[in-house]
Amino acid sequence: MKYDLKTFQGDVFGGITSAVVALPVALAFGIASGLGAEAGIYGAIAVGFFASVFGGTRSQISGPTPSMTVAMAVIISTHANSLSEALIVVVLAGLIQVLLGVLRIGRFVVYTPHVVVSGFMSGIGIIIMLIQVLPFLGAPTSPEGPMGALRSLPGALAGLNPSALAIATLALAITIFWPRRLERLAPAPLIALVVGSVIGILWLTGAPAIGSIPEGLPAISLQVPSADFLLGALHPAIILALLGSVDSLLTSLVADSMTGTRHKPDKELVGQGIGNIVSGLFQGMPGAGATIGTVTNIRAGGSTPVSGVIRALFLLALLLGFGEYVEPIPHAVLAGILMKIGWDIVDWRLLLRIHRLRRDHLVVMLMTLLLTVVVDLVTAVALGLIVAGMNHARQLKGLELDSVVSVPVLDRTFFAGEKGMEISDPLQARVGMVALRGTLTVASSRNLVSVIGADIKDHEVVIFDFSDARYLDDSAAMVIEQLLEVAGDADTSVIVVGLSGGVAEMIDTLDVLRGVPEDRVVDRLARARGIARNILEN
For 331-382, what is each residue's pLDDT tens digit? 888 888 878 878 887 888 888 888 888 888 888 889 989 988 887 666 777 7
Q: Which residue has the higher pLDDT, 82 or 441?
A: 82
Q: For the ranges 180-189, 237-246, 308-317, 454-463, which has the lowest average pLDDT?
A: 180-189
Distances (CA, A) of 131 to 24, 144, 299, 367: 13, 9, 19, 21
User: Residue 170 has what pLDDT?
Assistant: 94
Q: Which of 344, 297, 244 is nearest to 60 (CA)?
A: 297
Cα torsion 451, 453, 457, 459 to 10°: value is: 60
Percent of the chain clearing pLDDT 70 (strictly above): 85
- Sorted by sequence, the CB contacts under 8 Å of residue 374 that are 6+ apart come out as 147
SS3 readout for 119-146: HHHHHHHHHHHHHHHHHHCCCCCCCCHH
Q: One-letter amino acid identity for 103?
A: L
Percent of the chain clearing pLDDT 90 (strictly above): 18
**Whether the predicted pLDDT of 470 surpasses 80:** yes
CB 341 within 8 A of CB 61: no
**399 confidence band (pLDDT: 50, 70, 90):** very low
User: Residue 267 has what pLDDT?
Assistant: 93
DSSP annotation of 103 reads T
Q: One-letter amino acid identity for 406?
A: S
**Rounded to an integer, what distance in angstroms lies between the CA atom of residue 413 and that of residue 434?**
16
**Whether the predicted pLDDT of 402 surpasses 60:** no
Residue range 59-79: average pLDDT?
A: 81
Supply the DSSP string of 55-103, one letter for each residue: -S-TT--EE--HHHHHHHHHHHHHT-SSHHHHHHHHHHHHHHHHHHHHT
Distance between first and last Cα of the chain? 73
CB 279 within 8 A of CB 293: no
Sign of CA dihedral 200, 204, 208, 211: positive
Residue range 197-223: average pLDDT?
A: 81
Q: Which of 455, 440, 436 is nearest to 497 (CA)?
A: 436
Helix pair angle (227-259, 291-299), 10° resolution: 30
Mean pLDDT, rounded, of the chain: 82
**Whether the predicted pLDDT of 255 surpasses 70:** yes
**Strongest mean pLDDT among 73-87, 106-120, 492-506:** 492-506
Cα torsion 481, 486, 492, 495 to 10°: value is: -20
User: Residue 377 has what pLDDT?
Assistant: 63
Residue range 164-189: average pLDDT?
A: 85
Q: One-letter amino acid identity for 3?
A: Y
**Whether the predicted pLDDT of 261 surpasses 90:** no
- Helix locations, 203-264, DSSP H: 227-259
The pair phi, psi for residue 61, each rounded to 5°, is -110, 130
Does this model's pTM top 0.75? My answer is no
Q: Which of 43, 52, 110, 116 is nearest to 362 (CA)?
A: 116
**Whether the predicted pLDDT of 400 surpasses 80:** no
CB 197 within 8 A of CB 333: yes
**Rounded to an integer, what distance in angstroms lies between the CA atom of residue 129 and that of residue 370?**
15
User: Residue 109 has what pLDDT?
Assistant: 60
CB 326 within 8 A of CB 20: yes
**Rounded to an integer, what distance in angstroms lies between the CA atom of residue 506 and that of residue 244?**
34
Helix, coil or strand: residue 471: strand
User: Residue 393 has what pLDDT?
Assistant: 62
Tell me the pLDDT tens digit for each residue of 183-201.
666 767 778 888 999 999 8
Supply the DSSP string of 371-438, one letter for each residue: HHHHT-HHHHHHHHHHHHHHHHHHHHHHHHHHTEEEEEE-HHHHTTT-TT---SSTT---EEEEEE-E
Q: Which of 302, 270, 281 is nearest to 61 (CA)?
A: 302
**Rounded to an integer, what distance in angstroms lies between the CA atom of residue 328 and that of residue 197?**
8
Q: Is 203 exposed, middle or buried (0-12, 13-18, 19+ CB in 10 A)?
A: exposed
Count of positions (residues) in the chain = 538
**Whether the predicted pLDDT of 143 surpasses 70:** no
**Rounded to an integer, what distance in angstroms lies between the CA atom of residue 171 and that of residue 204?**
13
**Rounded to an integer, what distance in angstroms lies between the CA atom of residue 473 and that of residue 59?**
38
